[in-house]
Amino acid sequence: MKPLVVLDRIFKEHRLGGQAVQALARVSMEIHRGEFVAVTGPSGSGKSTLLSILGCLDRPSRGDYLLDGEKILQLPRRRLAELRNRRIGFVFQSFNLLPDLTALENVGLPLFYRHERLRNAAARARMALEQVGLSGRTDHSPAQLSGGEQQRVAIARAIVNDPDLLLADEPTGALDTATRDMILALLVKLNRIGLTVLLVTHDSEVAAHAQRTIRLRDGQIVGDSGMAIGQRHSISLEAVR
């Protein structure tokens, strides 16, 4: 089966006041549909940068990124927005909900940007909230919700468009252990029903829930537990080049 994600020798430099910071160097990997991948590494190792690139929030400085076979590098901003909208769900440590909108409206936001009709959107947003166990909180504003509930709203927003790939950047970083476990259980459940999940964490207990762990250091992959067939294949490919 064709991999969902192919990164081929990705480099990413951030410019900070005229100085270039090498955030990713020669990162290559493949992710297949249905995988649950944990990305770990010390702070500053490039995990968030990797997720930004996978999530089409940022473009690599060099290298190829194929999302379901489509080359991302040359796509216009408009098309990137469309990809973020339809194929990718994003969950952050700080939830990133819009404070002026209710839970239901926050969840419906991606549908609004794909021009879904209002009634349809409301129904789908309600279903997504149900999936994360929050059907009773539709009209609450984020401020009225606990951290765990806010993160569940964020997850509902990430899955409302039925994405191919869920990207989570330290989603449990701001939560206590009980809530953390609940969020993790939710992500595992979503993965069981077919969602591909890529989760950044430096909590080894969280990483233990994943089938595969990728280790980053100084912008490079220093370990990949799930050297699956596809992965070996890509390495051999690289050798051929």
Partner 1 sequence: MRSLSYILFAVRSLRAHLMRSMLAVIGIIIGIAAVSVVVALAEGARAEVSRQIASLGSNLLLVQPGAQVTQGVRRPAGSSLSLTAGDAVAVAREVPEVVIAAPFVGDQETVISGDTNWSTLLAGVTPNFFDARGWTPAEGQLFRTEQVASAAKVAVIGRTLARELFHGGEALGQFVRIGRTSYAVIGVLAEKGQDFTGRDQDDVMFIPLSSAKKFTIGRAQANPDAVHTILVKTESADTMGEAGSWISRVLRQRHKIAEGKPDDFRVQNLVQIAHTRDKTYRQFTLLVSALAGISLLVGGIGVMNIMLIAVSERTNEIGVRLVVGACPADIRRQFLLEAILLCGIGGLLGLATGYVGARVIPLALGWPVEFNEAMAVIALACSTLIGIAFGFLPAERAARLEPSVALRHSG
Ligand X SMILES: Nc1ncnc2c1ncn2[C@@H]1O[C@H](COP(=O)(O)OP(=O)(O)O)[C@@H](O)[C@H]1O
Q: Please tell me whether residue 45 binds ligand X under the rule CB under 6 A.
A: yes
Q: Using CB under 8 A, pick the residue from 1, 19, 117, 236 that binds partner 1.
A: 117
Q: Please tell me whether residue 77 binds partner 1 under the rule CB under 8 A.
A: yes
The C-alpha atoms of residue 84 and residue 90 are separated, in whole angstroms, by 9
What's the closest the beta carbon of residue 158 comes to partner 1, in angstroms? 8
The C-alpha atoms of residue 107 and residue 141 are separated, in whole angstroms, by 12
The partner in contact with residue 44, picked from Mg ion, ligand X, partner 1, none with C-beta cut-offs of 5 to 8 angstroms by kind, is ligand X
Q: Please tell me whether residue 213 binds Mg ion under the rule CB under 5 A.
A: no
What is the biggest distance separating any 2 CA atoms in the chain, rounded to whole angstroms? 56
Q: Using CB under 8 A, pick the residue from 16, 43, 69, 100 that binds partner 1.
A: 100
Q: Please tell me whether residue 61 binds partner 1 under the rule CB under 8 A.
A: no
The C-alpha atoms of residue 5 and residue 52 are separated, in whole angstroms, by 14
User: Which string of x and - marks every residue 41-60 that binds partner 1 (by CB under 8 A)?
Assistant: -----------x--x-xx--
User: Which string of x and - marks every residue 19-58 that binds Mg ion (by CB under 5 A)?
Assistant: -----------------------------x----------
Kindly tell me which of 97 and 104 has the beta carbon lying closer to partner 1: 97
The dihedral formed by the CA atoms of 60, 169, 25 and 57, expressed in degrees to the nearest 10: 10
The C-alpha atoms of residue 51 and residue 31 are separated, in whole angstroms, by 13
Q: Which two tokens stand for residue 28?
A: 């290559």
What's the closest the beta carbon of residue 45 comes to partner 1, in angstroms? 17
Q: Please tell me whether residue 178 binds ligand X under the rule CB under 6 A.
A: no
Interacting residues toward partner 1 by CB under 8 A: 52, 55, 57-58, 77-78, 81-82, 84-86, 90, 92, 94, 96-101, 109-110, 112-115, 117-118, 157, 161
